[in-house]
Amino acid sequence: MDIKSTSPLSGLFRSSPFKPVQEHMRTVFSCICFLPPIMDALYRQDSDEIEEFAHNIIELETEADTIKHAFRLNMPNTLLLPVDREDLLSLISDQDRLADTTEDIAKTLLFRSMEVPDSLKELLDELLEGTMEISAAAKDMIERLDELVQVGFRGRQQEKVSEMIAGVRRSEHNIDSILFRAKRTLFENETGMDPVSVMFWYQLIDQLGSISDQAENIADRLLLFISK
């Protein structure tokens, strides 16, 4: 379906090419914000709440997809941009992977009955906390894109974003350490667990870790912007 030139996103492009990217990231972050409550519902084995939160995540992922597709259709090839057009398209794809991964987690919990091993609970809490922190940092960086354009990707705003990028990289390294400990703990406690459940727990841990990897990709994309 064609997007008419009178659509709201068309107006956003006339003011700033970053507005729809920021709108998309806000929707993606809203999606990620349902991870702590859905995991809490899993801890409590509340299947009704798991279903409710999973459907909220799925709806927000669909909304993010709609924004992404409209963004791509509305971006003219002749638009003068402060950054490379392909880099901007790649940035929104990086953001979209965050929502995709969150939806994958939600669908796993929606369709698969899982119990949280006691040995994993503390590490999962650490992983969730780190995931939310790095996702919030990625969103904050995207919110600063307009300010960066105003100063030509230089000056104090550029220094601030550079510091934020470095912080995201440190956070990603810390999350890698949590992932290692979580997988080692799961390996040490596999005996007595259902083999299929063990497989799904490895998958879920990897998916949570993937969010931090994708947040780092966004940070690297912004570093490319301010380095050109």
> Residue 93 pLDDT more than 90?
yes
Q: Which residue has the higher pLDDT, 211 or 166?
A: 211
pLDDT, tens only, 133-153: 999 999 998 988 777 666 555
> Residue 185 pLDDT more than 80?
yes
Short-list 119, 104, 112, CA closest to 199: 112
Query: What are the sequence ranges of the domains in the chain?
Result: 8-227
Q: Could you tell me the pTM of the whole model?
A: 0.86
pLDDT, tens only, 45-69: 999 999 999 999 999 999 999 999 9
**Looking at residue 7, what is its pLDDT?**
41
pLDDT, tens only, 99-119: 999 999 999 999 998 999 999
Mean pLDDT of the chain: 85
Q: Exposure pattern of 78-93 as b/e (b: 16+ CB <10 Å)? A: eeeebbeeeebeebbe
- Under the banding of pLDDT at 50, 70 and 90, the label for residue 11 is very low
Q: Which residue has the higher pLDDT, 16 or 69?
A: 69
Q: How far apart are CA 162 and CA 169, in angstroms?
A: 11
**Looking at residue 207, what is its pLDDT?**
95
- Under the banding of pLDDT at 50, 70 and 90, the label for residue 5 is very low
Short-list 82, 108, 78, CA closest to 21: 82
Q: What's the CA angle centered on 202, arms 198 and 205, to 5 degrees?
A: 135
- Report whether 158 contacts 228 (CB < 8 A): no
**Looking at residue 6, what is its pLDDT?**
40
Q: How far apart are CA 161 and CA 134, in angstroms?
A: 14
Helix 85-111, helix 47-74: angle, nearest 10: 160
At the top level of CATH, which class does the domain 8-227 belong to?
mainly alpha
Name the amino acid, one letter, at 223. Answer: L
Per-residue CA distances from 199 to 62, 112, 193, 203, 204 (Å)? 27, 12, 10, 6, 9
**Looking at residue 211, what is its pLDDT?**
95
First to last CA, the chain: 36
Q: How far apart are CA 193 and CA 185, in angstroms?
A: 13
**Looking at residue 27, what is its pLDDT?**
97
**Most confident listed range (6-20, 69-83, 211-225):** 211-225
Average pLDDT score over residue span 66-86: 75
